[in-house]
Amino acid sequence: MTAGCLKGIDYSNPLVKYRGEKISKLARMMSVKPIKKPSEVLSADVYYSLYLPAPIIDEESPVELNKRIVRLLIQTPAGLKLRSKTILDRVLSTVAASVYIVKLYENIPRLEDNNGEKDLVNKLGKSELRNIVNETLADVEKINQVRLALEGLEPGSLSIYSVEDYSLDLIKLAREADVRRILEILEGVGNRGLSRSRKYERFKRGEKQGFELGSDIERAVPRDIFLDEELFYYKLAQGNLLLYSKVVEKSTGPLYVIVDKSGSMEGDKFQWAKALALSLYMKAVRERREFYICFFDSQPHNLFKISKNPRSKEAVKLFEYIATMKSSGGTDITRAVVNVLLDMSRNGLKWATLVLITDGVDRVSEKPIREGLRKTQSSLITVMIKGDNWNLKALSKEYLKAVKLDGVEILRVIKAVD
């Protein structure tokens, strides 16, 4: 690899070469138009311009084209805004570099020709390059929305199998029209209500969480243990020893989401239902809960499971599964809910939260559902979309009606799950 235009970068280093090769390859894979293999040196320069906190251009470098392209990333308002999202972030730096390279090669065909570089540099318009930076920023913001939906905000929420493969998955998802519509609904939710809510229960060998008075010597603070003997026994008899209050985090059961995809749900109702299902997945990821989703019409479809610590490949498949599902068919709510409860019984699962999302156009048999909830010690939350169903109201721990189908109503459901 020949030298690039940044100071402090060893272009002969295998890691630098690897970055240039991977971004060049990723750019070719994601390009809509067929392009020749992008320059690996340019790819590396763009990546490190986005990744490093303070990249410095080597003005003595002979690679004038690279310098001009990189300068727009580190000296223009749009470039600085883009860098604010990518600095020290390998995934977003890889994504943004690939998108930027693709847009350069698609909009400036002569960039593929390494001859006559000086002439090309002189003919590249500033407005043309700035438009490419602005377009890259817009794309990266959409891709970042998808990433936040998949990963959540807590460190270690998702295990990334490969930065390059994951980057390509993010780009593909961001281009899907169905995904964009779901994300538009979720914009009203933001991160409110999705943060991890920890619940605790008292346990004498748990972690310390404050103080209390009592007579449990095992939890007594050292100061009281070394009191004068007479005073110690007096406080013990009165139950006035100063003790550590100890707790353990209460484990939460799995979260099952059961979504009606029948023909009566077509349109805005189904889009909102899918956005709600995705937000519940985001909640489950943050809370380290097993997540299951099942769509149903006249019969239940296969359960899709996400583990407590999902890999990015699982999360991407789930996102695609939810986004691309279409509404059609009849409705059998009883069969769908009973099927989920039977699956729980077969796998020995208990204390689950079932969230049923439907418009309720069906007669529901209460007895088998009530029996299944009792056996699994689970609870049912029903979300009625512009409808009503008295049987479900009688069965549900929480019965919510959604009319406006916006982010505020999604937050109400999330609060009920808490």
- Residue 284's pLDDT is 86
Q: How many CB atoms lie within 10 A of CB 103?
A: 20
Q: Terminus-to-terminus CA distance in the chain, angstroms?
A: 54
**pLDDT at residue number 258:** 96
Chain position carrying tokens 């749900």: 265
Question: In this prediction, what percent of the chain has a pLDDT beyond 70?
Answer: 89
What is the structure's pLDDT at 369? 95
- 118: Cβ–Cβ under 8 A, 6 or more apart, which residues? 64
Alpha-carbon dihedral 24, 25, 28, 31, rounded to 10 degrees: -90
Examine the pLDDT at 205 and tell me if it is beyond 80. Answer: no
Distances (CA, A) of 360 to 334, 391, 403: 11, 10, 13
- What does pLDDT average to over the chain? 85
pLDDT class for 128, splitting at 50, 70, 90?
confident
Taking only the tens place, the pLDDT of each residue in 158-196 is 767 677 778 888 888 888 878 888 888 887 676 555 555
Mean pLDDT value of segment 204-222: 83
pLDDT at 52: 93
pLDDT band for position 129 (cuts 50, 70, 90): confident
Q: Is the pLDDT of residue 202 over 80?
A: no
291-348 residue pLDDT tens: 999 999 999 998 999 888 788 888 888 888 998 899 999 999 999 999 999 999 998 8
Q: At residue 155, does pLDDT exceed 60?
A: no
| pLDDT of 203 higher than 80 | no
How many Å apart are CA 32 and CA 28, to the nearest integer?
9
Asked if 369 and 334 count as a contact pair (C-beta separation under 8 A), the reply is yes
- Asked whether the predicted pLDDT for residue 34 surpasses 80, the reply is no
Q: What is the pTM of this model?
A: 0.76
Q: Confidence class of residue 153 from pLDDT cuts 50, 70 and 90? A: low
Residue scoring higher pLDDT (153 or 344): 344
- pLDDT at position 249 is 60
Q: Can you list the domains of the chain with their CATH numbers?
A: 14-175 (no CATH), 200-249 (no CATH), 255-417 (3.40.50.410)
Of 410, 18, 415, 418, nearest in space to 185 by CA: 410
Residue 39's pLDDT is 85
On the question of pLDDT at 384 being above 90, the answer is yes
Choice among 246-250, 363-367, 405-409 with the minimum mean pLDDT: 246-250
- Cβ-based burial of 66 (10 A; exposed 0-12, middle 13-18, buried ≥19): buried
Q: Rounded to an integer, what distance in angstroms lies between the CA atom of residue 315 and that of residue 160?
A: 10
Burial of 77 (0-12, 13-18, 19+ CB in 10 A): exposed
* Token couple for 305: 């499971």
List, in order, residues 6 or more apart from 151 with CB less than 8 Å away.
157, 158, 285, 312, 315
3-state secondary structure the chain: CCCCCECCCCCCCHHHHHHHHHHHHHHHHHCCCCCCCCCHHHHHHHHHHHHCCCCCECCCCCCHHHHHHHHHHHHCHHHHHHHHHHCCCHHHHHHHHHHHHHHHHHHCHHHHCCCCHHHHHHHCCHHHHHHHHHHHHHHHHHHHHHHHHHHCCCCCCCECCCHHHHHHHHHHHHHCHHHHHHHHHHCCCCCCCCCCCCCEEEEEEEEEEEEEEECCHHHECHHHHCCCHHHHHHHHHHCCEEEEEEEEECCCCCEEEEEECCHHHCCHHHHHHHHHHHHHHHHHHHCCCCEEEEEECCCECCCEEECCCCEHHHHHHHHHHHHHCCCCCCCCHHHHHHHHHHHHHHCCCCCCEEEEEECCCCCCCHHHHHHHHHHHCCEEEEEEECCCCHHHHHHCCEEEEECCCCHHHHHHHHHHHC
pLDDT value at 208 more than 90? no
